[in-house]
Copies of this chain bind each other. A is one copy, B any other.
């Protein structure tokens, strides 16, 4: 792909703001010659850093002033009403106005979702947008949604998530009919609550490639290409994953430091452990998509480092190149026109 891609970066968002977003932007520009980035935020903070560090990439690295910053713990409604000139809002406005094709933020998730929904609106036929991320599996990777945008999903919402997850996966992974698993507490039909049972009935008569119920461990087994769940469940699943991985790493480090002999063994095993770590490095999977909107919005983890934030920018580049929102819109329209439930 050599078409020009322009992406707006909420440069003030996240735990570290410009310290991370600016180096990440420069790294993304190095990797993608067709990319132009617009850093949105306080000009007096951003411009000096760009002048100092951007070097030959300065031509493709613009700064757009925005006077306010949304705090990480700020209620979404307050950010939406009170911070109309925040770096987040201005970055999303650039997408709405067609100046940028996507926006990336490591800011407050609730505020990002609320603002994106307010500014960009949802695609026709979508009741609620969802947050979708990629996770590593034993077979490759999986797309999981929703991860916390919707904490009381109906069976129709789950169906929409399935449709959006299917299109996104199909586009970015180039799979024609991704398999869809519905997260449940067992694989048997009698298991689960009424919402998942009803969603299963609807999915099984849809045109999607519905696999059936999957359980928590199926996510990492790579049983299906897409896993669909309510946002409450998905958020707990994602945070649990982080927690388990951190605990395992904590105990392993502790064991390798227990005594001099263990430290030697650790030093010898280090290159292998590093290579292993790279395989499932969460930084390589940074960048959750807010799907179901009239535009591309990618959410980075709040405490992402520059490498990780760059991955989120690359997710946005991919979604622009693959034209994801337009494809979701087309699939939904086709399904609605045919009078078939998605």
Which residues of chain A have a CB within 8 Å of any CB of chain B? Answer: 73, 75, 136-138, 148, 151-152, 183, 185, 188, 190, 192-194, 215-221, 229, 231-233, 235-248, 250-252, 254-256, 258, 262, 264-266, 268-269, 271-273, 275-276, 279-280
- In the complex the two chains form, what is the Cα distance from A37 to B72 in whole Å? 56
Known A185-B235, A192-B232; further 13 A-B contacts with Cβ < 8 A: A152-B193, A216-B237, A216-B238, A217-B242, A220-B246, A220-B247, A236-B236, A237-B240, A240-B240, A244-B244, A252-B276, A254-B276, A255-B275
Q: In the complex, which residues of chain B have a beta carbon less than 8 angstroms from the beta carbon of A262?
A: 272
Q: How close is A44's CB to chain B, nearest CB, in angstroms?
A: 31
Question: In the assembled complex, which residues on chain B have CB atoms less than 8 Å from the CB atom of A152?
Answer: 193-194
Q: A269–B273 Cα gap in the complex (Å)?
A: 10
Copies per complex of this chain:
2
Question: How far is it, in angstroms, between the C-alpha of A272 and the C-alpha of B136 when the chains are bound?
Answer: 26
Known contacts A194-B152, A220-B247, A276-B251; decide if A185 and B215 are in contact (CB<8 Å): no
Give 11 CB contacts A-B under 8 Å.
A75-B188, A138-B246, A151-B192, A220-B243, A232-B233, A236-B236, A236-B237, A244-B245, A245-B248, A251-B280, A254-B276
One of B219, B232, B251, B272 near A266 (C-beta < 8 A): B272
